[in-house]
Structure 1
Amino acid sequence: MSPPDQPQVQVFVDADLSGARFVRSDLSGVVMRAVHVTGADIDAPWLLEGGNSLWVNGVDVAPYVDAELDRRFPGRSLRRATDPDGLRGAWAAVEAAWATTLDRVGTMPPGTVDVQVDGEWSFAQTLRHLVMATDTWLGRAVLGREQPYHPIGQPHAEYELDGYDASFFSRTEPSFDEVLEVRAGRVAMVRDFLAAATTEDLAVARRHPWAPEHSESTLACLHTILEEEWEHHRYAVRDLDTVGGTARD
């Protein structure tokens, strides 16, 4: 049995979990033996954090997944840059990737930006979330703005912001033109900050926006923004492929 202070380990033997869907679930340390996984789809954006691994038939596939994502999304590999020039290049790559995707969206049928695939955020909602991510990690954490958030931002359902009632954020869907305007402003905000950033700036400790009792360096905050950008770009492209009937590589 598991110790009293640990959750009871659940054991599934000869269980049929085909078609099951796990959302915001902790499956770390799960052991599967003699299982059928044909067509299984795992999305773990924190796969490589803290030396995490994913073992399949005795092989840690996490590094292969990361390398393949770098191949599919040119510029993604720059997201771990540690100096001002490298970060400026990393952000330029982010802007280029999104510009290409926005051009693609412009060629798709009207309403594409509001289509939700499997209950995930639509393309427009994804851009709104990135507005909030920038407001959180640059506006709030790094710049220390007293009121960093734009109401158009799309918050996570599971997060609560100190001092912000849920009604602060838009309850109705804004127009896509409005989303693009606010998003462009946030993209420029990161670009402008990086244009003047120095090595000393990157080392400054900032209050963690979700856990104020802890601190993060400016560099760590910028890395979080870059991770958010690339992960949500991946989600957006994945769902546009589904909407457009395009097969994955």
Structure 2
Amino acid sequence: MAIFGPSDDLHGSRFNDTDLRGSWFNGCDLSDATMRGGNMQGAEIDDPWLLRDGGVLLVNGIDVVPFVRAELLRRFPGRATMRAADPEGLRAAWAAVEQAWASTMERAAALPAGVVDESVDGEWSFSQTLRHLVMATDIWLRLTIEGIEAPFHPLGQPNDGFAEYGYDASVFSPGVPAYAEVLEARAGRVAMVRGFLARLTDGDLEDKHPNPWSPHREESTRSCLHVILSEEWEHLRFAVRDLDALAKRV
């Protein structure tokens, strides 16, 4: 099986009558790709960025993004609030995402012991997803907005390439922590966001902060909160998807 990595530049390539059945494209930039005359039955596309303003995906000449967006809003009530612009709206948006996660947490709690640490198709386990949300809160709230010097919880799950941005990945604990500890860390960070939003004023929203991944760019407090909300909703979607698969195993 051929494996292509970051050092392989395939942009602009043409694949004519090529058998790509069962291929995986992880973290690949397929923007403006054209696929014609292909068999896409059973294919799966997961692109969180597609649903942002201006996203277009044509299938047989039809833009399917509006249909996908509408279906996600139906499946995840409250998701539409993630771009709230004022303090009251942001507080309501966080309450909505907390409520949405509550039912998923109950579902995970009903699984046999250890299943929360199982991966589906090489993706993060349910426990790792919660740990990543801890890290996301730390980087966008504690580091970027609040400027805390040591913002990271040791149970956080960093992104791939975290260290490449100059951060010390050794602050995170190795191994697989006890799920009870993960739940405690997650609950603490959820409460932090709730507490921050309770104090938020209109005047705070336009405060500027260096983007944690590109320090030459500025982010407003509002845009940082939008990232946190987006992380919450997208990883909820991933978690629900993987819980569906895990439920079939037990």
Q: Residue 9 of structure 1: CA displacement?
A: 1.4
Aligned ranges 1:167-206 → 2 under 5 Å: 167-206=170-209
Identity of aligned residues (%): 57
| Residue 41 of structure 1: aligned partner | 44
**Kept in 1: contact 2:152–2:171 (CA 8 A):** no
Instruction: Give the TM-score, by structure 1 length.
Output: 0.93
Deviations 1:44-80 (A, max 9, x none): 0111335121111111111211111111011111101
Secondary structure at 2:13's aligned position in 1? coil
Unpaired segments of 5 or more residues in structure 2?
Answer: 1-8
| Residue 3 of structure 1: aligned partner | none
Aligned ranges 1:21-60 → 2 under 5 Å: 21-60=24-63
| Residue 129 of structure 1: aligned partner | 132
Distance in 2, Cα, partners of 1:78 & 1:245: 32
Deviates more, 1:55-64 or 1:182-191: 55-64
Q: Residue 161 of structure 1: CA displacement?
A: 6.2
| Residue 79 of structure 2: aligned partner | 76
Counterpart amino acid of 1:152? L
Distance in 1, Cα, partners of 2:37 & 2:114: 44
Secondary structure at 1:19's aligned position in 2? coil
Secondary structure at 2:215's aligned position in 1? coil
Q: Residue 162 of structure 1: CA displacement?
A: 5.1
Deviates more, 1:156-165 or 1:138-147: 156-165
Distance in 2, Cα, partners of 1:63 & 1:127: 29
Secondary structure at 1:212's aligned position in 2? coil
Unpaired segments of 5 or more residues in structure 1?
Answer: 1-5
Deviates more, 1:128-137 or 1:101-110: 101-110
Distance in 2, Cα, partners of 1:144 & 1:23: 32
Aligned ranges 1:1-249 → 2 under 5 Å: 9-160=12-163, 164-245=167-248
Counterpart amino acid of 1:140? L
CA RMSD of aligned residues (A): 1.5
Deviations 1:104-141 (A, max 9, x none): 11212111110100000000000000000000000011
How many residues in Structure 1 have an aligned counterpart in Structure 2?
241
Deviates more, 1:125-134 or 1:57-66: 57-66
Secondary structure at 2:29's aligned position in 1? coil
Counterpart amino acid of 1:216? E
Counterpart amino acid of 1:146? E
Counterpart amino acid of 1:22? F
Distance in 2, Cα, partners of 1:171 & 1:155: 11
Post-superposition, which runs of at least 4 consecutive aligned residues in structure 1 deviate over 6 A?
none
Distance in 1, Cα, partners of 2:171 & 2:238: 26
